[in-house]
Amino acid sequence: MSLQSPEFLVVIPARLGSTRLPRKPLADIVGKPMVIWVAERAQQSLAHSVVVATDSPEIQAACDAHRIECLMTSPDHPTGTDRIAEVARLLKLSADTLVVNVQGDEPLIPPELINQVALTLAHHADCAISTVATPITDVTEITNPNVVKVVLNRSGEAMYFSRAPIPFVRDSNTQAHTHHLRHLGIYAYRADFLQAYTRLEPAPPEQAEALEQLRALWNGYRIAVHTTTQAPPAGVDTPDDLERVRQFLANG
């Protein structure tokens, strides 16, 4: 990033409830809880501060033990975005402050990717959100509903996100000219959008696809997308993922 890098902070929403991997943020990885690994990665970015947002006293205690800033938030938030919006209120952030949402299950997230998503939003003044996508090289991912696809316009802004194979290739002779993009779940927001988001009703396409970002598009907010060919390592969703990350960091 250049010397013109924007000021931003990182917020890491972390809650203990997880259906596939209970107590995931506190899962031990080479002697440290996973959420601490995530926070320490974020601290290697250009963020001026890194805050864990939780509703769990145990997570707060883990952060305190490792000198990571942590804020207690309501246990009633339906989404991580709502939890981050509460942090923005608690910190009294100005309307144009950039806030990067780093998921609490990404212990291998590259710090430069955090920088880039903030820079992308800073360079798109008309957008409320920025995020990241990467080209799909494995054709099986195109039809995999667990892989979220995004289609961009010529300005690098999201037109739509879907679990379906978009764009749909109708004619086989156009396949070679079609590029599918996988959406990566890291976001930057302007603080005023976060407050507006909490007042928006769930949108029909959001409910159909189970994709929270469609609420923003449905309501006319624009999402800038940075495309990278360097896909970051996968996050932790399952016990097998956790073991993979443990072995990687133990050998690192």
Domains of the chain: 8-131+183-227 (3.90.550.10)
Average pLDDT over residues 120-137: 96
Planar angle of CA 169, 213, 137, nearest 5 degrees: 40
Q: Are 158 and 226 in contact (CB under 8 A)?
A: no
CB-CB neighbours of 155 under 10 Å: 11
What does the pLDDT average to over 70-81?
91
Q: What are 14-53's pLDDT values in tens digits?
A: 988 766 788 999 999 999 999 999 999 999 999 999 999 9
- Residues 196-219 have pLDDT tens digits of 999 999 999 999 999 999 999 999
Q: Which residues make Cβ contacts (< 8 Å) with residue 22, sequence separation at least 6? A: 16
Both structure tokens of 17? 């409830």
* CB contact at 8 A, 188 and 101: yes
Taking residues 88-117, what's their average pLDDT?
95
* Residues 6 and 48 sit within 8 Å (Cβ to Cβ): no
Question: Mean of the pLDDT values across residues 223-250?
Answer: 92
**Residue 179 pLDDT level (bands cut at 50, 70, 90):** confident
SS (H, E, C) the chain: CCCCCCCEEEEEEECCCCCCCCCHHHCEECCEEHHHHHHHHHHCCCCCEEEEEECCHHHHHHHHHCCCEEEECCCCCCCHHHHHHHHHHHCCCCCCCEEEECCCCCCCCCHHHHHHHHHHHHHCCCCCEEEEEEECCCHHHCCCCCCCEEEECCCCEEEEEECCCCCCCCCHHHHHHCCCEEEEEEEEEEHHHHHHHCCCCCCHHHHHHCCCCHHHHHCCCCEEEEECCCCCCCCCCCHHHHHHHHHHHHCC
Residue whose structure tokens are 């799909």? 136
Q: What is the pTM of this model?
A: 0.92
Residue 75's alpha-carbon distances to 9, 53, 180, in angstroms, are 22, 11, 37
The answer to whether the CB of 211 falls within 8 A of the CB of 148 is yes
Widest pairwise Cα distance in the chain: 59
